[in-house]
Structure 1
Amino acid sequence: MAIEENGNGSGSGLPAGIAAAWGLRERRTKGPKPGLTLNRIVDAAVNLAASDGLGAVSMSRVAADLGVSTMSLYRYVSAKDELLLLMEDAAFGTPPPGPAPDEDWRTGLTTWAWSLRAAFHRNPWVLRIPTSAPPSTPNSVAWMERALACLRDTRLSEGAKISVLLLVNGFVRNEARLSADLAAAAERTGDDTEQSMASWARLLGKVTDAERFPAVTAALAVGELETPGGPDDEFVFGLARTLDGIEALVNA
């Protein structure tokens, strides 16, 4: 399936970058090897996001880092949104192998969720990319396949499996983003998590009272809001409760 240089597929309807990521773009067999490639563009953009944040990524900045003209990038990537999809795909890489033939669905989804969380922690800038489309790049579809495969032996409908995937993915993404935001705040202020929680508890103690906020006051009274748990405690708790709900659905 040939994909023309300007990004318009010959009847394929695929953007240039997506087609190239799937190995569907026509490769030249004659002439000198081009110095610019899709992989170089994506790698440069990923490095830029990792060092300066996602806000620093633009077609012109990536082109400048590569020492090429901005217009030359459009031969490989049709728009910045497409570049962001490819950056996310590169950052996540391939999912963990499996599931094993005898692995139950809960163990499989637990492994998947922890692996996804680790990918977010390695690349927190990915959390700033707006979700604008369903999975369409090779690695993102592979992650989708891996999660759905965990549910293969359940009696859930295919639609319910997709819903389970969205639920677990949403939990992991939300927890990872919250962790990233708190880590960034701590870096700005110089306070560790324990100091931040203690400051927050003191603030609440000054502005709340038992009559208007009895539940908050009760939590403050036993010190629950000023002593942080381990870095993984909330993820462990939240994932377990999410899977408990899915288990009720599977058993039903």
Structure 2
Amino acid sequence: MAKDGDTGLPPGLETAWGLRERPGKGPRPGLSVSRIVDTAVGLANAEGLPAVSMGRIASALGVSTMSLYRYVSSKEELLVLMQDAAYGLPPEGPAPEEGWRAALAHWARAMREVLYGNLWMLRVPITAPPTTPRALAWMERGLVCLRGTGLDEGEKIETILLVSGFVRSEATMTADLVSAARASGRTVEETMAAYTRLLARLADPERFPAVNEVLRAGVMTEEGAPDEEFAFGLARLLDGIEVLVAARSARGR
């Protein structure tokens, strides 16, 4: 039988939803869950997820490691809270009269901005569907974008999963490039330029004529390429969704 106050939720979710009471026994003045989480997020953004440990956070805050456990029970709970904090709340979308496509594109770009600003989030394994307050707020906003499309509820969920999966995949590629660049001491642009030069040496024109056409076009080292590639991919996704929306609209006539 559950004890009084036992929600049956993991500690991270209890804390995220404000359902977990903190022990009142001797808390350190000035220390709080939000300060611990903000410090952890700062470490992750500066040095990557492996840099985040209870010891490093305690050192940055000038407290003992054990004192943190009065506020955050484990590293797993901390990761849940870090992600929820980093997500923030989704921004308001375009006016309804601009349509579902503009709204969903705005939602996707806002999500990409969050991930680009917190690339460490892509290194946290996905172990469950969205359940924290801010993650659910993003889910809610994505579903709201699709109101009036004629899609059924299952299709709406599949649509936002498709779009968010594209955003996450594109951001993961960026995170991998950033990681490789850090390891080599070069910028992402320098890393891509070096790759292009290597490809030009290895790709024999007779064996790889199409690759050489791309190299001659210079598109792999163009400034702003990631943003243009993202816009291109997102537009193609939305084109496909638009076909489905049109079909559902025709069916409903």
Output one character per residue of 1:184-207: Cα deviation in whole Å (capped at 9) or x when no partner.
5445443562x5444333322332
Aligned equivalent of 1:190, options 162, 186, 190: 186
Task: Give me the whole-angstrom Cα distance separating, in 2, the residues matched to 1:54 and 1:9.
Answer: 36
Name the amino acid aligned to 2:75: K
Cα distance change, pair 52–245 in 1 and its aligned pair in 2 (3 A)? same
Shift in Å at residue 75 of structure 1?
3.5
2-side partners of 1:223 and 1:246: how far apart? 31
Question: 1:147-182 deviations in whole A, cap 9, x for unaligned?
Answer: 111011122121221111111111111212222333
Q: 1:85 maps to which residue?
A: 80
| Residue 134 (structure 2) aligned to one of 112, 116, 139 | 139
1:45 maps onto 2:34 in alignment = no
In 1, distance between residues paired with 2:4 and 2:205? 65
Find 2:157's aligned residue among 146, 162, 167: 162
Any gaps of 5 or more consecutive residues in structure 1? 1-7
Aligned to 1:230: 224
Letter in 1 for 2:214: A
Counterpart-to-counterpart distance in 2, 1:90 and 1:207: 45
Q: CA RMSD in A?
A: 2.9
Higher helix share: 2
SS in 1 for 2:18: coil
Q: State the alpha-carbon separation in 1 of the partners of residues 221 and 113 from structure 2.
A: 25
Q: Find out whether 1:10 has 2:5 as its counterpart.
A: yes
- Trace 1:15-34 onto structure 2 (pairs within 5 A): 15-26=10-21
Q: Which residue matches 2:97?
A: 102
Q: What runs of 5+ residues in structure 2 fail to find an aligned partner?
A: 248-253
| Superposition TM-score, scaled by structure 1 size | 0.82
2:106 match: 111
SS of structure 2 residue aligned to 1:102: helix
Residue 3 of structure 1 is matched in structure 2 by: none
Contact 2:93 2:107 in 1 (8 A): no
Query: Larger deviation: 148-157 or 70-79?
Result: 70-79
CA distance in 2, matches of 1:216, 1:205: 9
